[in-house]
Each structure stands twice: as structure tokens, then as C-alpha cells.
A = this chain, B = another copy of it.
Amino acid sequence: MQALGQRARQASRLMASAGRGKKDAALMAIATKLESSSAALRLANEKDLAAAKDNGLEAALVDRLVLSESGIAAMATGCRQVAALPDPIGEVGDMSYRPSGIQVGKMRVPLGVIGIIYESRPNVTIDAAILCLKSGNATILRGGSEAIYSNMAIAQCIAEGLAEVGLPTDAVQVVETTDRAAVGQLISMPDYVDVIIPRGGKGLIERITRDASVPVIKHLDGICHVYIDQDADPKKAFDIALNSKTHRYGVCNAMETLLVHQDIAKQILPRLCQAYVDVGVELRGCIRTQAIVPMLAAIDEDWDTEYLAAILAIKVVVDFDQAVQHIADHSSDHTESIVTESYTASRKFIQQVDSSSVIVNASTRFADGFEYGLGAEIGISTDKLHARGPVGLEGLTSQKYIVYGDGHIRK
């Protein structure tokens, strides 16, 4: 792993000054390689799938392992889309003259070497690699052992694409061992790795955060809330509450708890709850909710649970402040949405709720890098430092101050 780290560090220096033309050409070349290697990729994937079945892997995990023809086409499209994004590196902002006469600005630069640790889905290999490539970083990718053959086949396409345009193949390295000790080494080489981005379950991310001596950009859980205010438009409330829960269940920006103001609860809940039940959502309510619509009782644990499933906790609150307090106490600070026609309530919610995305009159499902216009995302950060919320190319960069003088010295 040390040797891998050293090679990544060297490659990162070359990548930092690689021009946009070369980086984009590499992305286009990788897209072509993925398409022309479709058969080889699927063959490698078959080996992983066979091993997974032999090892009795859960069906859901096996599903996530599959690399279909359309999946490969989507990866190639992803490469071309990232090539079309603007290059953040070298962007200069805030350039201004100071009273001393020096001219000061900030220039975007790559972070250096980014370690990505992820679980079974092989498409993460390409997603992460191309975002790091475009942002001028070197990457070390450590995927799950279940996907090792698929990941190595994808790595081969990336290496060929890089080589074709004369960029260092060490800019994207896939760890070829499935030895668990490799992860421990990867997260404790601050000389060679600038940041770790774990992608996977909460257990993985907590373990890495605890053990890493390299900074980590975390993506923890999403316990997201929709709050239907007393001044909500009932139609908007119905649509947003339904969409936030049922558009997709297993995603971090799905609503897990619905809060409803007591003055509007009787008007909203009966029809809304029927709609949830109709699509198979299990409801768990507080006492006030149960008094309006019969359902299972929510227990304390429900307010702190990320279901990632067709289950919803519902609480009727006495006022706006109780809603905000509930969010402060139970939210994972990922995404919260208010439905209201009140100017003052919307301003207060935006100001008082401290989550990475705070939304007025729209579904929590919009909290995502593509919807926000980042072009792509490597994850949604629940950290407060560096990058918060959806992380696109800019989150994979840092900045340096640049100063122009004409012989200026400090007086």
C-alpha cells in the first residue's frame, strides 16, 4: 500500500498540471474503452456473480453487483457528461488590489490523492474515478471484495484511456487485494493520501471515521423531515409529502418522519395516509396522529431511525417551534423541507434549521448533485467542514491564494 501511495502522490503532481484538453480526452477515451470492452466487462462480472452465489450473498447485494449492458452504456455516458463539465482547476476568484498594492486572489487546485472506499456496486469505480480525474486528483479505489473482478476490468479500461492520451496510469489505481488490512493502511497514510471518501453503509463509514488518520469526507445517514406548516397549501403538502417518501425508498434523501401542525392535521392526514397505505407504506404515528388516523404507535426509536424502506413515522406538532425543535433533536442534518404559504415561517425555517439542505415547498428528493446542477456527485456530505451537502467537482478541490506584486515588500 505504501508503494501504491507513493505512485499516487507522484501521479497527482502530473494530474494537477494536466490541462483540461488532456483530461477530457482521457474521459472520452475511457468511454470508448468501456463500450468496446463490454464483453470482457460482463465476463469479469460473471465471475463475481458466480462467487457471490457460491458464498450465499443476499439477493439484494447480488442485484447491486450486476453489470448489465445498459449499465455499461450508462457508465460510458457518465464519462462523456463529466468531460462536458467545466474544469474547476485553475479557476481564479476574488482577485482584487489591496491598499499595499499587491493583487490577491484564490485559485482552485486539486486536493491531491483521494482514497475511495466503497461496497459492492462496481459502477462506483467509474463514477468516483472520473470525478477525481476531471478535478485533477489521483485516486486510490478500494471496492468490495465481491466486485473485485468487475472493478479490475473497469480499472483496465481506465488505465488504457489514461495511457492513450499520455496521462499517468497511476492516476487511478484499484487496490487489487481483497485483504481487509489494506483498508487500515489506506486510511493511515497521511503522507500519500489527502482525503478519504467512504461510500457505503453507516457501519463502514463510522469505522473508517474512527480509525482514519487522514481527513474523511463523510456521508452518514439521512433522517429527513417534511414539516407541513399550519399555513401550508393542502395540495402542495399532499404532493410533497407523498413524493418525499414514495419516489424511492432506499435513498438518503427520502423522508423518514413527517411532521404536521395540529391546526392542519385533520385536514391533511386522512387523505395523505390513505395514499401512503395504497402504495404499501407502513405508518407509525404519535398519539395525536393515531387520534386522527388509526395506525401503529411510533416508539421513541422511530424518530431516530433511517428506515430506507416503505415505513414512515408521523408526528403532529403543536406549533412551528416544536417542529424545529424535533428536527434539531432527531434529524441527521441531511435534508428538511417545510410546506408553507407563510413568508415568515419560510424565512424562519431557512434560518433556524441547520441541515445540509433546507427546502421550502419542494420534495426532499431534490437534494442531490444532479438536481442542484453540480453535474455529478461523489456523495452527499453530512460533514460541516470543507464540503457539505451534495459534493461535486468543487468538493474535490481546494484553493490557494495567489499574489501578484511588482517588487512589493512589507513596510
Chain B nearest CB: distance from A330 CB in Å?
A: 14
A111 contacts chain B at the CB level, 8 A cutoff: yes
A372 B401 Cβ-Cβ under 8 A = yes
A5 contacts chain B at the CB level, 8 A cutoff: no
Given contacts A96-B373, A407-B233, contact A16 B354 (CB under 8 A): yes
A402 contacts chain B at the CB level, 8 A cutoff: yes
The residue from B243, B244, B247, B388 contacting A400, defined by CB atoms under 8 A apart? B388
Query: Who on chain B is nearest to A112 by CB?
Result: B384
A104 B373 Cβ-Cβ under 8 A = yes
Which residues of chain A in 91-130 are interfacial with respect to chain B, using CB atoms and an 8 Å cutoff? 96, 98, 100, 102, 104, 107, 109, 111-112
Query: Who on chain B is nearest to A216 by CB?
Result: B215
- By a CB distance below 8 angstroms, the chain B residues around A388 are 398-401
A213 contacts chain B at the CB level, 8 A cutoff: yes
B409 A365 Cβ-Cβ under 8 A = yes
- By a CB distance below 8 angstroms, the chain B residues around A304 are none
B363 A409 Cβ-Cβ under 8 A = yes
**Residues of A in contact with B (beta carbons under 8 Å apart):** 13, 16-17, 90, 96, 98, 100, 102, 104, 107, 109, 111-112, 194-195, 210, 213, 215, 217, 233, 235-236, 239-240, 242-244, 247, 328, 350-352, 354-363, 365-367, 371-373, 383-386, 388-390, 398-410
The 30 sampled A-B contact pairs (Cβ below 8 Å) are A17-B352, A98-B371, A100-B371, A102-B362, A104-B371, A111-B385, A112-B384, A194-B384, A195-B385, A215-B385, A217-B385, A233-B407, A240-B407, A240-B409, A350-B402, A356-B400, A357-B403, A358-B401, A358-B403, A359-B403, A361-B407, A362-B407, A366-B403, A367-B401, A367-B403, A385-B385, A386-B386, A389-B399, A389-B400, A390-B401
